Structure formats: C-alpha cells, structure tokens
Structure 1
Amino acid sequence: MARSLKVKSEYIPRVKQAVRRNGYATQQLLAEELGFAKSTISLFLNGKPISNLNFFEICQSLGLDYREIADWDELEETAAATSEDEGENRAADFSKYVERLSNPNFFEICQSLGLDYREIADWDELEETPAATSEDEGENRAADFSKYVERPPVEQLCLETVRQAGSLLRIKSAKGMGKTLLVDRILSQVDKRQYKTVSLSFLQASKGIIGDLDRLLSWFALIISKKLGLAALFQEKWQEGLGLYSCTAYFEDHLLKKLDKPLILVLEEIDSLFAYTSVADDFLSLFRLWHEEAKNNNTWQKLHLIITYSTENYVPADLNKSPVNVGTEILLPDFTLEQVLILANKYQANLGKDELQKIINLVGGHPYLIQKAIYAISQKQLSLADFLETAATEEGIYGDHLRGHLLNLQEHPNLAAGMKKVVESSSPVDLGATINWQLHSLGLVTFVQNAVQPRYPLYSDYFRYRLSS
C-alpha cells in the first residue's frame, strides 16, 4: 500500500463542509488542534496526497469515514506493489493499514538493511515528479486572509527581517497564537520573483529519524533538495558520516550555489526535536552557525531562515531555556480589544464592544480562544450567555483545549501542584524560576516580576475546580 492518500474529487465539498460543521472557522484552527502544519490541512481539503496517518487522523477529527472518501482507485494505479488480495481489501482491512503505517519509510529501510539509498533510489523519477517544488510551495501554503487580523508591529518586523540577507527569524509561542498563519502572511508579501521558498515541518520526520543525528541531517538535506527539484544533486554531492560538517558543506558548497536567487527556508514544528536533547542541541547549532557565517560569507547570505516552534514542548523535554537564541525573536501577543472588534466584524458577528469585552474578560485576547468564541456565537451554535456560563467547563466549546492542558499537568505532578497554588492564591505566586518558566511555556500563567498569576480567568476557574479534587 502507498504511504499517501488523497480525498476523492467528488468528496472535496463534503470534507470542507465537515470543517465548518465541526466548529473550525479556519484551516489554521484545525491544524492547531491536531498539531499539524497548515499546509497538510490545505493539501487534504484540496484533494492532494498526504501521509496515510495524517489522512486518517484528520478524518477521525472531522467525523469522516476514511474508507468512503479516500481515492482508492488512484492509490491502486500508483501503488508500487500490492497483491491482488491487498488491493481488494485495502479499504476494509484496517489492521493491515495500521501495520503498514508503522513501517519505516524508504530512507529508514535502506539504513536498517545496510543499503546505499543513493544507489538504489530512482532519482530520475524523483527529479521529474518532486512531491512539492519551491514553486508549488507558495500555492500549497496559499491562505485565506479574509479573517486575518494584523498585530502591529509584528508583521512589518517579520517582513523586514526576512528580507535581510542571511536573516534568521524565530517565531515562538504556545499553541493557538497564530504562528503558521503569520508565516503564511509573510510569504504572501514576499516577491516570488526575488526568492525561492521551501517549507518543512519536522512533524513529517519519524522518531527513528529525529532520534539519530546522522539520519536527521541526511533526511533534512534530502527533503530540502527534493523540494527544490535538486534530488540528483543530493545523490551526487552528499557526504555521509561527517556529522554536522556533511550538512554545512552540502548547503554551502553545492545547494546554495546552485540556486539563482535567495532561499527562504521555513522550518516549522522544530519543537518535535526538543525531547531528543543531544540531537536537538547539535542539529539546532547548525542554524546558529549558518546565521553567524552569513555576516561575512556571501553564500550564506542567500539563506533566509524562518523557524517556528511551540513552547509547550519545553516541558516534556525538561528544558529551562530556549533552545535557539540567535536571530530576531518574535513573541506573538494577544489581541487587543480593537483587534477583537475587527475580527468580529470580519465574521459579521452581531457583537458590540461591551459584549466582546465580556469574552475578553474570560479568555483574554488569545487568538484561538477568541476566534472560536466569535465563530460559535456568530453561527448561533450558542448564545453569549451560554458561552459565559459553560466556557470554563468540559461541556463548553473549550472542553478539548482545557482537557489537553489538564493532561499535561497530570503528567508532571510538580507543575500540577504549582498551578494549584497559583489558582488558589489571590495574588501572584513565586514557585521558583524553573516551575514559573515551565508553566509560562505551557501558556497557563503570566509573569508579574518574579512571580506568576493565571493567564486568563478561564484557566483560574477550570483548574481551581479540577485541581482541588
């Protein structure tokens, strides 16, 4: 069975309706909920191939029957090799489907068998039909900005930074703050005639790759080359077994010099690496090195890096500082009342300033929480009064969001104990530098000098109840 699936063309309208029916006002909201790159959701909704596992998870989230909407005929035509029995039973035999999902990819199989993937891969075929060239990337990432609300001066600062030779832009926040949509906004304002653009999400890499530095370096260089239509260059020039030098030498001596214009390289979800501390430290040091080299090296000035990551993954990785500390850092702020009013008008929600202020009084200006509330009320899924009554409960529209945070705390009893103290106190609490920082990384508290307090009343109300039992 092939490793990718796509939606049948006749089912595309249905899956787009399912997004709205399930309360996701935008593709970005669904992407944030699932922890996917927005480009993956866009490909799914437009009938483009995505990985089997991602296809199944999206279907589950939207209440869709993957066996019904998947283009199995297309899969039959393009599958590398399937038996007749597998072809007949491919939609129904879920146990085989799961088994095949767990198999390593081509790259990993070659490594485990001691085969040289550069020798046995069909590079000509790959060169002719790359999965996504840099020209395709712009189309795949095309976003609907009709609901986009700017947060000056964030957008202008990002754009000015990206246009600088050898730049490194870091966008970090807790989930739901709009990192992916901001990147899409930046890319939409870049002159495509002056830059090549490639995006890579580290969610695409398996644990076997992420946990091994040499594998990760090879995978990274290969995927970037493939997206640029230069897979054959990788086959010819990549030097295996030299660690970080392999990647630096390949980019400097071959890939960047091959390009006729600067490359904007977007690296998303790098927090997927954080749990593999030694690998992450070495791999992320590449970007610090490349950024420093760009100050005096014309070749490295052709590379413009955009890196995004969610701060929640600091906690399971037991980090007490940011893993990347060079370049220009962007911390995404909450919406102001004026920006919330703009968003409400874009949804044609019949909500005035006083009503919107009531929402803000509960969830602050958190973009995801605000957007979800405005959408639900504007679509008459619930009234403002019902929203205010149920928001901080698992019955309300934030039930999944709150349970997700609760699970994080339950997995780290020291954080749960700390959060309990915070929500039960009438004034800011100092839990010590590490606990303060980790709760802040989860997006649950804000700093008041050296102490912390609940970020929003939504969290105070919910966790005061849940953590008291």
Structure 2
Amino acid sequence: MDELLQSVKKILQDKPLDSIQWFVLYQSWLGKTYGEMAEVSGYGNNYIKEVGSELWQDLSIALGKRITKKNLHLALNKYLQDEIGNQENQNQQNFGAESSLEMVSPDLFSASNIEFPSGPVALDSPLYINRPSLEEVVCNEILHPGCLIRIKAPKKMGKSSLLNRMIAYAKEQDYQIVSLDFQEADQDVFASLDKFLRWFCVNVTRQLNLLPCIDDFWDMEMGSKVSCKIYFEAYLLQYIDDSPVVLALNEVHRIFEHPNIAQDFLPMLRFWHEQAKQDRTWQKLRMVVVHTTEIYIPLKLNQSPFNVGITITLPPFTLKQIQNLALRYGLDWAGNSEGEKRLAPLQSMVGGHPYLVSLAFYHLYQGEMTLEVLLKTASAPMGIYGQHLRELLTLLQEEPALMSAMEQVITTDEKVELDAIAAYKLESMGLVQLNGNQASAMCELYRIYFSQQLGKQNSANASREFTS
C-alpha cells in the first residue's frame, strides 16, 4: 500500500490529492464499491462517484492510458514494474532531454512569420508545444465508438489548438469531420430550442455533403429533441458510410448563456453518448465538446453545467516546456542551464499559462524589452498583460463575494480555506489553484495585480468615508 501511495504521488506530482481522494483511492484498491465507501465516510453516493471519476481521469491523463476503478490494480502494478525496470533508461533519457532541447531552424524566424499570439496555434506552426499525455489521451479516446470528450479550461489555455490537432489525427484515420463553432451562430438562432436544433442539423448535414431534409423527420408533436435524434439516427448516420463521424463542437459555453436551450441540448448530447453503449448506429458518432470555464461566473452557476464523458483539463506549461518554447521563438540564450534559471521567475510570475508565456516571448523576440524589465512591469496597467488582467478584474467586480474571497487568498502566503462555491468559481477563472477547498494564487502576477487593485479600492473607500 505504501508503494501505491508513493506511486500515485509521483504520477500526480503537480496535482496533490486531498483527503477524500486518498480515501476513494485506498478503498478502490481494496475492492470496495462506491456504495460501501459512502456508508463508511458519510458522504453521498453520487459525490463519491464524482470524486472517483475525476481521480481516474487525472490518472488517465498523467499516465497517457485509460484508468478506471476496474483496471486500477492492473494499471498501477504495471506502472510499478515499469518504474523499476526502466529507471536507468529513464535517467539516460532525462539526461539526453536536458542536453538536447528542441531547436528550430533560425530560418523560421522573421518579423513576418512570428505573429502576435492570438487564437489557435496553426497546425504547421513551430510554436506549438506538445503535451504528450494530453494529446495521447485525446487521440486514443477518439478511437472509441460513441465516445464523448469534453475539453475545458479558462480562456487562452490552448483548447482550440488541442482540438485542431485531434481533428487532424481523426482525419488521418479517415474519419469524417463535422466542426461547429457556436460563435458563428447568429443571435436569433438561440431564440428557441426548435430553431437552434434546426440550425444545428442543417450545419451537420451540409458538412457531411448530404442534402438537408429536416422537414421529412421533424414532428412538433414529438418535440424538437426527439425529432433531432430521429434525424441523426434515421438519416445522417444511415446515409454515411461505415467510417466514424467526429462531431467537434467548439465555444459551447455560448449555449450556457441561453438556459432555455442548454437545459435540453446538453442532456441530449449525454443521451446520445449513452445510446452508443447499446446501439451500433450511435457508435459511429464521436463527440468532442470544447468550452471555457469563466462563463460559469456571470451565470451564477455553482457547478459545471455539463459533466459527462472523459474530461480534459489543460495544465500550465512546465519549466522545460517554457524553455522549449523560448527556443522556438529564437531566444537562443534560453538553451542552457543558465537560460533555464532566467526563465524560472517567468514561470513563477505567470504560472506557466500558455498564452501569457507566449505573449512574453513575442515581445522579447521583438526586442522591445529585456526579460528582467518585462517581469518588473508585468502587473502594470499599461504592461503587456494589462488587457488580460483588466478582463479578470471586471469579472471579479461583478461578483463582490468572489472579490472578497480573492482578497483572502492574496493577503497571505499560506493556503486559505474558502467556501466551496467561491473556491470552485475562482479555480474556473484560473485565478487560484486548489488542494481540496484550500486555495492559493495561481501565479505571482495575479497576486501582485489584485493586491494593487484592492489597495486602490480600499484607499478610495477610506477617502470617501473621510470626506463624508
């Protein structure tokens, strides 16, 4: 058991488990059911299941293979054996990685082909940093009949870039691709569930090179959801060949803004996913849902509006990945141990946030400032991160309770016990990292900036009280 605990700590080194997660892991190892765990612990059965589901997903992402409660023994025993047998080889590989960071030809770098970081990283761009366990999990999962993958993260963490690479992989498997971005939909499309589902069906149909014939399958007495299901089942999935169809839905958080649609559309996708477990027709369909998490805050949501399938949460860059990206931007000084030491404060400042790291390297490549100057001015209103910080501040100002919770976090160097809802929302915004409900600032940039802003706010309030 001690070996198990040490192995899991090593596997999830960047994401320590809290007490209830350790409990579920230990009881699962002993072969206990979720019901038995609920009785012993006093927690609800559904909550124990949710904890277990998230734990298996975290292990799956870290190990690059699907981990479930049923195969836990087999997977972790194999991991232990591989660790013992491959330790020497791994050390040799690590030494090689230290001395041979990914270099990109200097010919790739010029003012014309290094673009300002904005939007997904192009498939052929040298600036995309692979996160092998993520890419492997997503690409392996898309091979499973009837799968549903949910990619979620705060803005600009790389969701669309990962989605595009998964789509490219699916094309290599000769899968048919339907890619919908809900930002493209006109506002009046969301006027009603019926109008939205018709728009949805027409778009899918045309991307499959079929002629829309929605009226032949639509029956208002059965309802829009059932009509949509019949249209897919009896027409779209029947008239395509036997190759699977990947339905990639991007910017799905836009639907969350329309509860009258979200409350029916999202459960409909879940039902289709469940149908695939017993119906071969639905096994042709593989769904990928991508959404940002900040949308939870203004909508007053206290939990994710869509929990189903395998969930991929994008992690920040490691120091080694930051170093590799620096080299891809042509910052040759980053290529040795001294360069790594210089980059460590940048990782601490922005927490490895992919967009914030890329933005820093863009400005360094342009020669606009040194790394040291960039770090000193990072939290300044007119600094390179000014717009990003103001957007986060606006969200917090709309939620006084969250602003108060954030103030608790940044006024101490210790982890702070937060209300579960506040902790969840701040983590969804990417502002804090959690260990249970204990929160700490995600990065030094956020700690400094929000300390400055709260200081100004408190000074203004004190001035108003004095004058009144």
> TM-score by structure 2 length?
0.69
Q: CA deviation at 1:306?
A: 0.7
Question: Aligned residues, how many?
Answer: 340
Distance in 2 between residues matched to 1:408 and 1:237, nearest whole Å: 43
1:156 — aligned with what?
Answer: 136
Give ranges in structure 1 of 5+ residues lacking alignment.
1-19, 32-37, 43-141
Q: CA deviation at 1:275?
A: 2.4
Instruction: Find 1:30's aligned residue among 104, 109, 118.
Output: 118
1:255 — aligned with what?
Answer: 236
1:396 paired to 2:389: no
1:268 — aligned with what?
Answer: 250
Q: CA deviation at 1:235?
A: 5.0
Q: SS state of the match for residue 30, structure 1?
A: coil
Same amino acid, percent of matched pairs: 37
Give ranges in structure 2 of 5+ residues lacking alignment.
1-110, 458-468
Deviations 1:322-376 (A, max 9, x none): 2222211111111111111111111111331011112112111111111111121
2:435 — aligned with what?
Answer: 448
Distance in 1 between residues matched to 2:218 and 2:123, nearest whole Å: 35
Q: SS state of the match for residue 440, structure 2?
A: strand
- Does the aligned pair in 1 maintain the 2:217–2:230 contact within 8 Å? no
Amino acid at match of 1:461: I
Q: CA deviation at 1:23?
A: 8.4
Amino acid at match of 1:246: S
**CA 1:393/1:23 → structure 2, altered by over 3 Å: closer, same or farther?**
farther
Q: CA deviation at 1:188?
A: 1.8
Q: CA deviation at 1:379?
A: 1.9
2:448 — aligned with what?
Answer: 461
1:245 — aligned with what?
Answer: 226
Deviations 1:260-309 (A, max 9, x none): 12111100011111122242121100111011000111110000101100
1:146 — aligned with what?
Answer: 126
Q: SS state of the match for residue 301, structure 2?
A: coil
Instruction: Find 1:174's aligned residue among 154, 159, 169.
Output: 154
Q: CA deviation at 1:465?
A: 0.5
Instruction: Find 2:420's aligned residue among 417, 426, 433.
Output: 433
1:295 paired to 2:277: yes
1:76 — aligned with what?
Answer: none
- Does the aligned pair in 2 maintain the 1:225–1:234 contact within 8 Å? no
Deviations 1:18-67 (A, max 9, x none): xx789854xxx423xxxxxx5xxx9xxxxxxxxxxxxxxxxxxxxxxxxx
- Does the aligned pair in 2 maintain the 1:173–1:331 contact within 8 Å? yes
Amino acid at match of 2:127: K
Distance in 1 between residues matched to 2:195 and 2:413, nearest whole Å: 50
1:282 — aligned with what?
Answer: 264
- Does the aligned pair in 1 maintain the 2:319–2:352 contact within 8 Å? yes
Deviations 1:62-93 (A, max 9, x none): xxxxxxxxxxxxxxxxxxxxxxxxxxxxxxxx
Deviations 1:88-131 (A, max 9, x none): xxxxxxxxxxxxxxxxxxxxxxxxxxxxxxxxxxxxxxxxxxxx
Q: CA deviation at 1:229?
A: 2.3
Alignment of 1:19-418 (within 5 A): 24-25=115-116, 29-31=117-119, 38=120, 143-192=123-172, 194-234=174-214, 236-240=216-220, 242-260=223-241, 261-349=243-331, 350-351=333-334, 352-418=339-405
Q: CA deviation at 1:163?
A: 1.1
Distance in 1 between residues matched to 2:113 and 2:143, nearest whole Å: 38
